[in-house]
Structure 1
Amino acid sequence: MSASGIGRYALPVGVVGIVLLLVVPLPPALLDGLIVLSIAISVLVLLTAMYVERPLDFSIFPALLLVITLFRLGLNVASTRLVLLDGYAGDVIGAFGEFVIGGSLVVGLVIFLILTVIQFAVITNGATRVAEVGARFTLDALPGKQMAIDADLNAGLIDEDTARTRRAEVTAEADFYGAMDGASKFVKGDAIAAIIITIINLLGGFGVGVAQKGMGWGDALSTYSLLTVGDGLVSQIPALLTSVATGLIVTRATSQGDMGSDAASQLLRSTRALTIGGAAIAGLAVVPGLPKLPFLLVGGAMLALAVRARRAGSDEDEPGDDLEPAPVDPTQQLVEDMSVDPLEVVLASDLVDLVDAGAGGDLLDRVRALRRKVALEIGLVLPPVRTRDSLDLPPGSYSVVVSGVEVGRGQAPAGKVLALGDMLDGLPGVTTVEPVFGLPGKWLPVEARHQAELAGATVVDRGSVLITHLGEVVRANASRLLSREDVKGLVESVRRQHPVVVEELVPSQLSLGEVQRVLRGLLDERVPVRDLVSIFEALSLRARVSSDVDGLVEAARAGLGPAVADAFTRDGVLRVLTLDPLLEHELAEHVRPGEDGPVVQLEPGTLGRVLDALTAAVQRVDALGVEYVLVCAPGLRSALRRLVQAAVPTLAVLSYTEAGQAPRVEAVGTVTNASAVAS
């Protein structure tokens, strides 16, 4: 039977047996066995508390503490019954009494009282206080931790399963410390009960011996004091071990190792502290009157540990670290300095804490999570994002650089959080505009976060502001970030799973450069390129007719099918801005072939009126606060996209065929020759 199967039956039977201890007399031999079992359980609990890496790894401890305490109290009742009835409570209690008393009743009672004071006044009171403080702070921090998990989920740093797991851990931690706050009272009550039971045994046994058994005063005092001290000792030793385990659990901070490993690594980490401490202890040997040998032995041992730790640290260094570095070729160094990183995040000097893990910065982790999110959303594997600081930036600011050119700048002042909402007038802070969506906001001191949340504002930390801005910049510049090497890697990844698709297309029909232009064209129009198999299959069919890039892009869009509309569908609805039929017919009549694909050729005055009408329609629909696309006839789509790009670069253009594959289509506006009429 497994351990869980044994525990399923043993623990309930044991609890029932503990209750029987309170009413059923036990033979001395069985009592001896149960006392030894109590000591063994306490030792096991103490060692388990020392070896767990997190307090939650021993989550059963609060309930177990109640059972252990009840078990010891049941043994106290059983032993008291034997002491008062028979003057004999087994060999274990008698042996412990003889060992502690050592022939002197006064010494025995003093030692027993010292053990009781250690447990009750030092360990138990301290553990109880720590448990109370830990429970209060854990419960107070619960809402903030829950909000942090929600913020990480919204920022794309974690997925839904990870968020659910972290929420469960946070709730379990709060429940655990709340239970420990109550369970620590069991330990305190156990210590008080042990003292009272000892006094009862001593006075009651003396009275029974003299009044009922006719013993002399001296014999009664000697006999029952021995049994009382022995009974108290076999109760106090496991109680002391359990109290120490309780203190270890409630004072233990979360780490990556057990207590022994953490203590060794942290105490022996500083060779300077070991050296100074060892020298100081050894130096006390020269003080007149102090024994020299103990101080020399302990001081020498500390100095030996310092030497060993210093050698261990030097062994980890790479061989040849003391050699002078090889001279760098100036030409090679210049070439390296001239190289341009595809994507950079430049921070002002006071924002370096965002990337310093020691100071709580998690920007690098967020960037890694963003790379994964972008890859899963649009199929682009971002190049490594270089993060550096610059003295040229104003304090509290950052910039996003793509291929050496700054494409975005924002603010993330140290010690501030960004509040977004309509009710910000009464909050202290500096008014600003959110860099991605253009929302009004305020940079507030961290201390005012709770006040802002109570006012109904959405509060965002600095890292989330920066990573959201970076994500939007990446999506807007996705085509520039797709290099030829990236395309080669994507082609090879498809080749491993679908070799026939790649062999038919590259390089027999299209070169890597032509495939790159097609993928860039899709990314320019915010079409995901995750389904490379469908894209390559569509390109293979189109390339047999023509290698015109514009036609290849249209063929790839057709090959993706519903995925094109799905990229712009929100909550199952694709919201569209339509063209007036007369305007659409007029534009279609003026489509002419161009060097880079079809274009709409209109008279300057007519073109200006069309663009004004489009801009007015976009402004009208933007006021609705929804995401939408412009739809038109398939033959007009490519040319209209080039026309729209000049006035509204972020507006996506879909054909009726593509939009018709969405689950549901909703018209939100119409563009006419003279004005835009919002629906």
Structure 2
Amino acid sequence: MKFKDISVLLAVLLIVVMMVIPLPPVLLDILLIINISLSITILLVGMNTKEPLDFSIFPSLLLITTLFRLALNVSTTRAILSHGHAGQVVATFGEFVIGGNPVIGFIIFLILIIIQFLVITKGSERVAEVAARFTLDAMPGKQMSIDADLNAGLISEKDARARREKVGREADFYGAMDGASKFVKGDAIAGIIILFINVIGGFIIGMTMMGMDFAQAASTFTLLSVGDGLVSQIPALLISTATGIIVTRAASDGNLGDDLTRQLFAYPKLIYVVAGCIALFGLVTPIGILLTWSIAGLLAFAAYKMQKAKEKEEEALEEINEAPPAEENSPENVLNLLHVDSLEFEFGLGLIPLADTSQGGDILDRVIAIRKQVALELGLVIPIIRIRDNVNLESNEYVIKLKGNEIARGEIFLNHYLMLAPEDEDHGIAGIETTEPTFGLPALWIQEEMKKKAEIFGFTVVDASSVITTHLAETIKRYAHEILGREETKQLLDKAKEHYPSLVEELVPQLLSVGQIQKVLQKLLKEKISIRNLPVILETLADWAVFTKNPDYLAEYVRQGLARQITSQLAVNKMIQVITVNANLEKVISENVQETEQGVYLTLDPQTIQQLVHAINDTVQQVVNVGIQPIILTSPAIRMYLKQIVERINADIPVISFNELESDVEVQNIGVVHFQHAGVVA
């Protein structure tokens, strides 16, 4: 623990001890001066903060300073009643400040209490209460605004996180200030009670125990009590003023001094009017022209200087606005044009209402949901999706781009619903014929009045926003392996390092680089294998990276390490229906694998590959025709090579090995790929 942390803890403990242990007058003088210095410091800091959160410790500091003042009150009361004096500071406030007159001192003390209690503290308490209520009510709207800016690409993830933290801290601050202002209110009440206790108790003690007469006891203890009250209430008044300044601070770019001079004197012509009013007072009232015209002259001179300064500032701004912008021709501005967003969603002008929340558009909220869905399903954090309109597109068109290149396109009609229906079915529902953009199914765009009829017939009907959302989500999943770059991989590793530091430090960079891990993760994502279970993936890589650095082989080992995950993804009720390949096909593939420094390749001639594709496709079609999802099961030795061939038919067909299935899963063979090669039929 640092020295400053220990010192703060000891200071708080000593404040409590002060209430119990008597203090010598010299130490009391030192502590009273420290109390005054601390209150002045707090007032000046409060005046110079630009926003309340710059002084977020203020509620806790308010409690500590209040406790410190009360502890000093207890110590000075003990000294006054025990010895008839409480040090030089209290005596000075009782004699010098109030001129030795207890009546005047008592009146001044009451005025300070009234100012603090009824004016400053009461107002600060009300402002803090209202600010806390409004801040809490505005939190949902602020959070939605942050999410909208994040999905629109106006801010980064880091900026969004910082803004959310700020919103939460603002709510906590004003809530704490609502309660902390009660400390100041209670302190004012305690000051009044302590004063009367000192006066009455001192009067009794002075006459009965110290042998004073009535006049001497009244004078001595009243002066000391009033001095004690003033020496505690003046710092309390300063801190109450700081409380009011902090809770009434509105959003601005400067401190209180900047705001006062810039805003209060922003209109020099009005100062001339004020100067004229003051000069008129000297003519029509007995005040006299000597005083009033002197002040009026100073005001007029100040207004003249402010007007000249404002004119110079306006001229400088005009010169800046008329000058050609230097950034347009600067190298930095040209470099900014080279930036390419990872993901872009562009739409025609007719689809703007989908992104406009004021028109009921919810595409921004749906994008947030997509990012969360992809993170849960694939373990991939999707970067900011830049959403913008594009005048070059047709009114109802939209385009999805990956790193500046188009990867998907679609067309939708607002105020219509998409009905999925076979082309050859006679349903009698009129609409605009189209193709569903995500899966390429025949569909119709129908009006809202036809929606109920379509649902009665049992057709699937979705709104335009859902069509776009589904298309965007499936496109992101399809190209997830291309979205994952080195920077995204580094972020995943940094997050894993927070919980598994030893694992990440062992693997990176001693065994594998970030780029090598990226290639392995890309191969998993390309085959729809979630990388969310990153610790298991990294542990498997750490086990096998000592034997090979080849990403192809490492990806196969990781798949085997994720056997439970792959099994649960494909199996239904501990049973999986698969297509197997015959021994001849496995032999042909395994005999034509070539390993080079650049990687491992399949060296089959084009004719043989074409025969393999036809053989696999025939079996797959047979399975699809009976309504079963095709899953190909093969040996671990040829799995990744067979997958390369299957991708020519359909990239979404899973190809798994025996080592990727749990031992308790029942495997049901529903088809075999027969392959004829070199005169051999198997």
User: How far apart, in 1, do the equivalents of 2:551 and 2:327 lie?
Assistant: 57
Name the residue aligned to 1:546: none
Deviation at 1:127, TM superposition (A): 3.4
Identify which of 280, 299, 317 aligns with 1:295: 299
Name the residue aligned to 2:273: 283
Name the residue aligned to 2:570: 575
User: How far apart, in 1, do the equivalents of 2:127 and 2:189 lie?
Assistant: 19
Matching of residue 235 in structure 1 with residue 232 in structure 2: yes
Contact 2:643 2:655 (C-alpha < 8 Å) held by counterparts: no
RMSD of aligned Cα (Å) = 6.7
Name the residue aligned to 2:13: 12
The letter of the residue matching 1:345 is: F
Closer, same or farther: CA 14–319 of 1 in aligned 2, 3 Å: same
TM-score, with length taken from structure 1: 0.55
User: How far apart, in 2, do the equivalents of 1:378 and 1:129 lie?
Assistant: 48
Number of residue pairs matched? Answer: 528
Deviation at 1:83, TM superposition (A): 4.7
Residue by residue, what CA displacement relative to the aligned partner does 1:96-128 show, whole Å, maximum 9, x if unpaired? 344543587666444433321221112222333
Matching of residue 126 in structure 1 with residue 132 in structure 2: no
The letter of the residue matching 1:196 is: I
Identify which of 20, 37, 40 aligns with 1:40: 37
Matches within 5 A, 1:471-482: 472-477=474-479
The letter of the residue matching 1:349 is: I
Deviation at 1:293, TM superposition (A): 2.9
SS at match of 2:652: coil
Residue by residue, what CA displacement relative to the aligned partner does 1:295-338 show, whole Å, maximum 9, x if unpaired? 235535654664576578679x5994279999xxxxxxxxxx9x
Deviation at 1:58, TM superposition (A): 6.1
Contact 2:95 2:101 (C-alpha < 8 Å) held by counterparts: no
Name the residue aligned to 1:562: 557
Matching of residue 349 in structure 1 with residue 352 in structure 2: yes
Matching of residue 613 in structure 1 with residue 623 in structure 2: yes
Residue by residue, what CA displacement relative to the aligned partner does 1:336-358 show, whole Å, maximum 9, x if unpaired? x9x9999532254346678xxxx
Closer, same or farther: CA 143–275 of 1 in aligned 2, 3 Å: closer
Contact 1:274 1:302 (C-alpha < 8 Å) held by counterparts: no
User: How far apart, in 2, do the equivalents of 1:65 and 1:398 lie?
Assistant: 57
Matches within 5 A, 1:580-599: 580-581=579-580, 594=606, 597-599=609-611
Deviation at 1:32, TM superposition (A): 2.3
The letter of the residue matching 1:4 is: D
Residue by residue, what CA displacement relative to the aligned partner does 1:649-668 show, whole Å, maximum 9, x if unpaired? 46243352xx6267879568
Matching of residue 196 in structure 1 with residue 193 in structure 2: yes
Contact 2:47 2:245 (C-alpha < 8 Å) held by counterparts: yes
User: Please, which runs of 5 or more residues in structure 1 have no aligned partner?
Assistant: 327-336, 355-360, 414-433, 439-461, 484-496, 502-517, 542-554, 622-628, 675-679
Matching of residue 407 in structure 1 with residue 404 in structure 2: no
The letter of the residue matching 2:7 is: I
Deviation at 1:168, TM superposition (A): 9.6
User: How far apart, in 1, do the equivalents of 2:220 and 2:622 lie?
Assistant: 109
Matches within 5 A, 1:648-667: 649=650, 651-656=652-657, 660=659, 666=665
User: Please, which runs of 5 or more residues in structure 2 have no aligned partner?
Assistant: 282-291, 330-336, 358-362, 416-435, 441-463, 486-508, 514-519, 590-603, 674-682
Deviation at 1:238, TM superposition (A): 1.5
Contact 1:69 1:186 (C-alpha < 8 Å) held by counterparts: yes
The letter of the residue matching 1:285 is: A
Contact 1:479 1:521 (C-alpha < 8 Å) held by counterparts: yes
Contact 2:397 2:409 (C-alpha < 8 Å) held by counterparts: no
Closer, same or farther: CA 482–74 of 1 in aligned 2, 3 Å: closer
User: How far apart, in 1, do the equivalents of 2:258 and 2:473 lie?
Assistant: 40
Closer, same or farther: CA 558–114 of 1 in aligned 2, 3 Å: same
Residue by residue, what CA displacement relative to the aligned partner does 1:136-170 show, whole Å, maximum 9, x if unpaired? 677789999999999999xxx9999x99x999999
Matches within 5 A, 1:126-275: 126-132=123-129, 180-202=177-199, 213-216=212-215, 226-247=223-244, 261-263=254-256
Closer, same or farther: CA 476–598 of 1 in aligned 2, 3 Å: same
Contact 2:47 2:256 (C-alpha < 8 Å) held by counterparts: no
TM-score, with length taken from structure 2: 0.55
The letter of the residue matching 1:280 is: L
Identity of aligned residues (%): 36
Name the residue aligned to 1:330: none
Matches within 5 A, 1:376-525: 387-390=387-390, 399-401=399-401, 403-404=405-406, 406-407=408-409, 470=472, 472-477=474-479, 525=527
User: How far apart, in 1, do the equivalents of 2:234 and 2:627 lie?
Assistant: 83
Deviation at 1:53, TM superposition (A): 7.7
The letter of the residue matching 2:273 is: G
Matches within 5 A, 1:530-545: none
The letter of the residue matching 1:344 is: E
Deviation at 1:389, TM superposition (A): 1.9
Name the residue aligned to 2:324: 321
